[in-house]
Structure 1
Amino acid sequence: MSMFSKHSEHLLITTMLLNSIILFTLGALPVTFACNFHNTVYKRDTNSTSPYPNSTSTYPNFIPGADGPADSATLGYTLNHHALLVSNLTQTREFYGDVLGMRHLFTFELNPHWSLMFMGHAQGGKNGTGFQDADTMVMERGNREGLMEFLSYAGTTPPTQTRPHSSFSHLGLIVPDIQAAQARMEAKGVNIVKRVGDAVDPTSSIPAALGFPDTMAFEEGIPGLQILGFYGYMIIADPDGNLLEVIEQY
């Protein structure tokens, strides 16, 4: 066997071995993720009960999804848009457009007081990097995901800011480089409620937005948030104080 043939054989064996390792690692990721919840246990009052089926008194407790196929009648259903009540459409458009890169589809003024506005990322790429004009985006509005609708009645404070028990929590945004995104938002003067790597300020609006009723309840939930990787997230606020959770793509 020639030296070239031996080299090719060794290269082939090495490649096959590396592929096997990669496939094994990828296959183990879901199991590893689930095990992290179970191995990093957090004890709480054993008399407490969980609203989740099949849960235990050891927390955090990871419960994997086990749903069967959806009803065939729902084929084609998808979440088209989220709607927020805002106090100033101009400021809202500047924030979601200039800071987050959303495109303005249209604004509809019903009368001198009440207006609604639609915005969304262009569909030319995962980060909306491809250009689409507003007309195209409007035509596709009924067949898109992730749009935002903003409603405003001039001169009023959004009810979400006056109802302490609003069910709204936060919006989620994915970015390719979270450190670069944070630096850009700092330069633009965005209200960054929590920076990447920082602990959550228990006096901030974050605990309430996550559903914790008080500081003690929030502190009880900290171990679970750590496992979720929450401290690697960034939390920002829009002009009306609505929170956005910023996560790096993976």
Structure 2
Amino acid sequence: MVRFLPTVLLGAQLLAPVLGHSLPRFQPREDNVTITYPYPELGTDAPADYATTGYFINHLCITVKNLTESVGFYSGVFGLRKLFTLHVSEHFTITYMGHSHGGKNGTGYQTALELNREKNNAEGLIELIHADVHQKDLKSSTEQPNTFAHIGMVVPDIQATRKRLEALPGVEVLKKHGNTIPIGGKVAAATGLHPEVIAQLSEAELKQISATLDAANKELIFVADPDGNLIEIQAQEGSELV
């Protein structure tokens, strides 16, 4: 029995972080009853099409107005490193950025060559498209609502991140930790509640939306990148469903 005790203790240590992620109480909604909002709907356990085995999301792509400024922002504020910049022509470039994938505790450093070698096996990369010409009509979702809402960033310590963001020059914090997201503001407009939508919802439903999301949103931080793209920052532990 004593021989197995270290193994049991190790197992408990490994399970603790997993069990620490609280899940909402998913309950099936009964038919022919009054619907009460909000209610979560759990995904099915049906396996994906076998033909899609090995598929995963590798990167997202945004168009930027100033490549130097954008690379500096994502590197200096969020620690992404540049994999490469492909100079397609004199005025057109493609840049990839991402985090090292060897580990999240600071031990996973990779050289630029290693990052590029693992590029097509990596997740969470950002591709920056830049045309070095004047583009007056290039607008982000915080300026003009579109189908892009935000980039989601997870951090190990939200309070340490808050203090760091407050100390960094030039970082536009649109929603501070502890605050709610007012309906009608930039963040709400960029996350599905823009004026056209608000005009078609009743006051009661808008109150319901605010009441539901306010508790979760208080724990989040929203910042804008140099082009106005929204970045949501949430803690790795203790975050709500959304």
The TM-score, its normalising length taken from structure 2, stands at 0.77
Please identify which structure carries the higher helix content.
Answer: 1
- Greater shift, 143-152 or 123-132, is seen at 123-132
User: Is structure 2 residue 220 aligned with structure 1 residue 233?
Assistant: yes
> C-alpha distance in 2, partners of 1:180/1:98?
15
Which residue does 2:192 correspond to in 1? 211
User: Is structure 2 residue 104 aligned with structure 1 residue 126?
Assistant: yes
Which residue does 1:46 correspond to in 2? none
> C-alpha distance in 2, partners of 1:234/1:172?
10
Rate the CA distance shift 1:198–1:112 in 2: closer, same or farther, 3 A.
Answer: same
> C-alpha distance in 2, partners of 1:88/1:27?
41
User: Is structure 2 residue 148 aligned with structure 1 residue 161?
Assistant: no
Aligned residues between the structures: 214
- 1:93 aligns to what SS in structure 2? helix
The TM-score, its normalising length taken from structure 1, stands at 0.75
Rate the CA distance shift 1:158–1:87 in 2: closer, same or farther, 3 A.
Answer: farther
Matched letter for residue 185 of structure 2: S
Higher-Rg structure is 1
- Identity among equivalent pairs (%): 37
Mapping for residues 19-34 of structure 1, pairs under 5 Å: 26=19, 29-30=22-23, 33-34=24-25
Q: 2:90 aligns with which of 92, 103, 112?
A: 112
Q: Which runs of 5+ in 1 are unaligned?
A: 1-7, 39-52
- Contact 1:55–1:61 (Cα < 8 Å) also in 2: no
Q: Which runs of 5+ in 2 are unaligned?
A: 238-242
Which residue does 1:196 correspond to in 2? 177
Matched letter for residue 226 of structure 1: D
> C-alpha distance in 2, partners of 1:56/1:147?
44
TM-superposed deviation, 1:56: 6.0
> C-alpha distance in 1, partners of 2:32/2:125?
35
> C-alpha distance in 1, partners of 2:90/2:230?
28
Matched letter for residue 85 of structure 1: T
Higher RCO (C-alpha 8 Å, min separation 6): 2
Rate the CA distance shift 1:66–1:240 in 2: closer, same or farther, 3 A.
Answer: same
> C-alpha distance in 1, partners of 2:45/2:99?
30
- Contact 2:181–2:217 (Cα < 8 Å) also in 1: no
User: Is structure 2 residue 69 aligned with structure 1 residue 91?
Assistant: yes
Which residue does 1:102 correspond to in 2? 80
Matched letter for residue 140 of structure 2: Q
Q: 2:151 aligns with which of 171, 174, 190?
A: 171
- 2:218 aligns to what SS in structure 1? helix
